[in-house]
A and B are shown apart, each in its own frame.
Chain A
Amino acid sequence: MSEHSQHSVSAIDIRKIILEQSNRAQVGHIGSALSVADIIAALYGNILRIKNPFDSCRDRFVLSKGHAALALYAALYLKGWIEEEQLNQYCGNGTLLGTHPEHAVQGIDFSSGSLGMGLSIGAGAALAARLQNSSRRVFVLLSDAECNEGSTWESIMFAAHHRLSNLVAIVDLNGQQALGYTDQVLSLTPLAEKWRVFNWDVHEIDGHEIMAISKIVNQLNTTDGMPHVLLARTTFGKGVSFMENEIKWHYLPMTDDEYKQALKENGVA
């Protein structure tokens, strides 16, 4: 904990933790977590206004693509909200840190894991903030495949109809889903136009450019107007060459050699 006492949240550290913990626990979802490492770093490093996880005025965050939970745990650890001992029990029997997030963990606002639910919860949280005259904002990180879910579009309509400008959706457009590439499974194209005609404020961004993500979000008008969506182009498995854009890394744990190679590519000897 002491080495992170300054609470800096870097994508390098997030990636390192993702690799270390998924190797130690011998579980998958590695590529999905790596895909959002930079977005999570931007959120927890520069964007989310959270004095402490219990402050009722804090910004809310919904990791709708719950299978990237390890990236979130890494950020919560780097923020000092979960202990190193807890992180090191990732996927351990009797612990709360599974491969999908649990709200009982300090710093996690909502449990998730079933796709297509997070945006509705986020819209409710944004509506709550408006009703309470709070300036807090709500961020929801979705996978591109969650746009397959009809319920996501129910929430998209609701948020636009009620002009929930304090709601920011970020879609991790890595172009992959569990069994294939999104273009081949169920095409979302043209996704930006879809959100736009549903009356959202659409921004197409590079999901690995932390400073650019932070800059755009901090310039959004979250007090009036349309809800916002960042369509963030990302690379599945980003940062580990043999995982990038490979479907199997949705599932597989690493072998020892793969782990060594992955660490090496991320600057860890």
Chain B
Amino acid sequence: MRTAFVETLVELAQKDPRIVLLTGDLGFMALEPFAETFPQRFFNVGVAEQNMIGLATGLAEAGFIPYVYSIVPFAVLRPYEFIRNGPIHHQFPVRIVGVGGGVEYGHQGVSHYALEDIGVLRTQSGVTIIAPADANQAVTAIRKTWNLPGPVFYRLSKNTRTFIPGLEGRFEIGKLQMVCDGHDLLFITTGTIASEVVSAMALLREQDVSCAMAVLASINPAPVGCLIDLLKRFPIVITVETHYITGGIGSLVAEILAEHGIACRIVRCGVKQNVGGITGSQSYLESFYGLSAKTLVDTALLSLRESTGI
């Protein structure tokens, strides 16, 4: 997905000289196409993420569209107050590009995980939050949002292999994307963990469970209207995200269910416990935290049993 991001950014930058790219000394084997095509518009600012956001704020006031790049916690959490007081408060077109949603940086440890970024940014109504499920959707999302007047956070995966069949690269700001329809239960997911949901649904189909699946990539603005219409049709919704269960899309869906009095049970799948020091690959850790296809199947079957009393 980062390769797709950089290729798309090069394409946009060829059309618009206002685009500049700043990195906090990360992006090896990723940012080179931009750096080589536009050496005058590429700045490695060093390991100084607070300064990077401040620089982007000053650049944006003068008419630039600065993209700032780092691994999610360093792009969002370290300079959070700079983001709040700078691009968000001034409503400047700064693009915060965070790589590595969830536990993608597996062996690198907790310092590199992104488990609360959506939660903290979602409290700010003045920032667009986009978490694509695969590279094709990322490309569409970047092309459709590069010129927004206010700030945008892109939660990107470094994994370029994920492909969600049926998504077909669709993205629209403030909308959900349905991947497939069904009637027993609804999955709503975000980011590349969507591929586990796809696998889980195939296993559930073998057990005659009919599932619908929606990708929630436009987290802010949230697709409130789409969600209301969709949630009314299902007895159970299972949200799946590589994020702490508090503050992410599970919370978002729960807010909508409660505020609109929709009779649909929600089961939130995400990281439920404080992450300790356990290391492992991305897939190991996603499984460890209950987000593998197999665990999602178990969760879905248990939820159905509980709901029907069988």
8 Å CB interface, A108-135 against B: 109-114, 116-129, 131-132
Q: What are the residues of chain A within 8 A of B41 when measuring CB–CB?
A: 131
Expressed in whole angstroms, the Cα–Cα distance for A180 and B292 within the complex equals: 55
Q: Which of A153-161, A190-198, A205-213 contacts B (4 or more CB under 8 A)?
A: A153-161
Asked if A103 CB lies within 8 Å of chain B CBs, one says: yes
A117-B82, A121-B86, A124-B56 known; A155 vs B62 contact (CB < 8 Å): no
Top 7 closest A-B pairs, CB basis?
Answer: A120-B54, A124-B58, A128-B62, A124-B55, A125-B58, A154-B51, A154-B48
Selected contact of A123 from candidates B20, B55, B61, B85, CB within 8 Å: B55
Asked if B59 CB lies within 8 Å of chain A CBs, one says: yes
A131 touches B64 (CB 8 A): yes
Asked if B27 CB lies within 8 Å of chain A CBs, one says: no
Expressed in whole angstroms, the Cα–Cα distance for A4 and B9 within the complex equals: 50
Q: What are the residues of chain A within 8 A of B46 when measuring CB–CB?
A: 154, 157-158, 161
Interface centre among A109, A113, A121, A151 (most CB of B within 10 A): A121
11 contacts between A and B (CB under 8 A): A60-B61, A119-B54, A124-B57, A124-B60, A125-B61, A128-B62, A132-B63, A151-B82, A157-B48, A158-B48, A158-B51
How many of B's residues come within 8 Å of A, CB to CB? 29
Q: What are the residues of chain B within 8 A of A138 when measuring CB–CB?
A: 58
How many whole Å from B70's CB to the nearest CB in chain A? 14
Contact indicator per residue, chain B 58-83, by CB within 8 Å of chain A (1) or not (0)? 11111110100000000000000110
How many whole Å from A146's CB to the nearest CB in chain B? 13
- Contact size class for A? 20 to 34
Expressed in whole angstroms, the Cα–Cα distance for A131 and B90 within the complex equals: 21
Q: What are the residues of chain B within 8 A of A155 when measuring CB–CB?
A: 51, 54
Residue of A nearest to B81 (CB): A114
A120-B50, A155-B54 known; A129 vs B82 contact (CB < 8 Å): no
Expressed in whole angstroms, the Cα–Cα distance for A119 and B43 within the complex equals: 17
A111 touches B89 (CB 8 A): yes
Residue of A nearest to B66 (CB): A124
Expressed in whole angstroms, the Cα–Cα distance for A51 and B222 within the complex equals: 43
Asked if A218 CB lies within 8 Å of chain B CBs, one says: no
Q: What are the residues of chain B within 8 A of A106 when measuring CB–CB?
A: none
Q: What are the residues of chain B within 8 A of A103 when measuring CB–CB?
A: 89-90
How many whole Å from A253's CB to the nearest CB in chain B? 26
B58 touches A128 (CB 8 A): yes
A131-B20, A157-B46, A158-B48 known; A151 vs B54 contact (CB < 8 Å): yes
Q: Beyond A121-B58, A128-B59: 18 further Cβ-contacts under 8 Å? A: A56-B63, A110-B57, A110-B61, A112-B85, A114-B85, A117-B50, A120-B55, A120-B58, A124-B57, A128-B62, A132-B63, A138-B58, A151-B50, A151-B82, A154-B51, A155-B54, A157-B48, A158-B48
Q: What are the residues of chain B within 8 A of A127 when measuring CB–CB?
A: 43, 55, 58-59
Residue of A nearest to B45 (CB): A158
Asked if B53 CB lies within 8 Å of chain A CBs, one says: yes
